Structure 1
Amino acid sequence: MERVPDALTAEALAAKEALELAMEVGCDRVILEVNCAELKVILEDSEGFKSCIAGICFDITELARSFVDFKVEWVPREANSVAHCCSSLVSSAERSMFWFDDIPDWLEGLVSIDCTPMNN
């Protein structure tokens, strides 16, 4: 994203775009996974609308009302190799990539790793 002042704003804008896409393709149950704990807190706190990203948070909250079931989950960066890898593929010329019917093998492998619980 161009001209974004900080990581919090970038993550909020990405979340908003993701929810718009989810609505466009007809999803009715959505879990929004964020790796920015601050964004999760802001979205779940009524005081969050006093933050510097209040307008984006309002948009996200309104989009969330469109789904039958919606929740926000924080996922540590170490458990989110899919987002990291996918974000490194986009460029200013090609901002979006979609895999609905034919998911690449490398992506399935990353999802499998991210979704496998670690034993402590």
Structure 2
Amino acid sequence: MIGVGVVARDAEGKTLWCASVKLGIKLEPKLTESKAILIGMELAAEMGHDRVVFESDCEPVVCAIKKKAPGCSSFHLLLDDIVVATNRFSDCSWSWIHRDGNKVAHELAHVPPLVLGRKIWYSDFPDFLCNLLNSDLQLNVN
């Protein structure tokens, strides 16, 4: 089972929502990171976001997305899905962030209980996230 964490912020950095998603599959790390980005894109589209910047702490995946790297591996098939999903947004860009600035998503990926499905918080974020939300914002602004 893999866990995925997603955080959505507005242009000023205010947290709009957070999600924890558990999938009944096991993937190698690069595929997990790619799947996490795709899930984040799907959630952002569901929430009606149109102008988006997707951030990930997995630099090789961000670089491959930006380059639209060709290939026929499982990784490249996920990249193709990501490229197609960009059509759901009027403005879509990519950014690599250091792992220290992505702690909220990391924690959300490991939220217990480890059951399949997703949990989305629109407000009243869990206590364990509140300090991390502020700390990630400060690290990513500086």
Q: Specify the TM-score bucket, using the shorter chain as the normaliser.
A: 0.7 to 0.9
Contact (CA 8 Å) 1:15, 1:32: kept in 2 or not? yes
Q: Which runs of 5+ in 2 are unaligned?
A: 3-24
Corresponding position: 1:34 with 2:34: no
1:83 to 97, 105, 108: 105
Distance 1:58 1:90, change over 3 A: farther
Distance 1:90 1:39, change over 3 A: farther
Distance 1:78 1:17, change over 3 A: same
1:73 to 95, 99, 103: 95
User: Which has the higher relative contact order, 1 or 2, with Cα contacts under 8 A spaced 6 or more apart?
Assistant: 2
**TM-score under structure 2 normalisation?**
0.73
Which structure dedicates a bigger proportion of its chain to helix? 1
Q: What is the percent sequence identity of the aligned residues?
A: 26
Q: How far apart, CA to CA, are the structure 1 residues paired with 2:65 and 2:58? A: 11
Superposed CA offset, 1:3-42 (max 9, x none):
31x1110010111111111111111121111111000111
Contact (CA 8 Å) 2:56, 2:102: kept in 1 or not? no
Distance 1:26 1:113, change over 3 A: same
Contact (CA 8 Å) 1:28, 1:67: kept in 2 or not? yes
Distance 1:88 1:70, change over 3 A: same
Q: Deviating runs (4+, > 6 A) in structure 1?
A: none
**TM-score under structure 1 normalisation?**
0.84
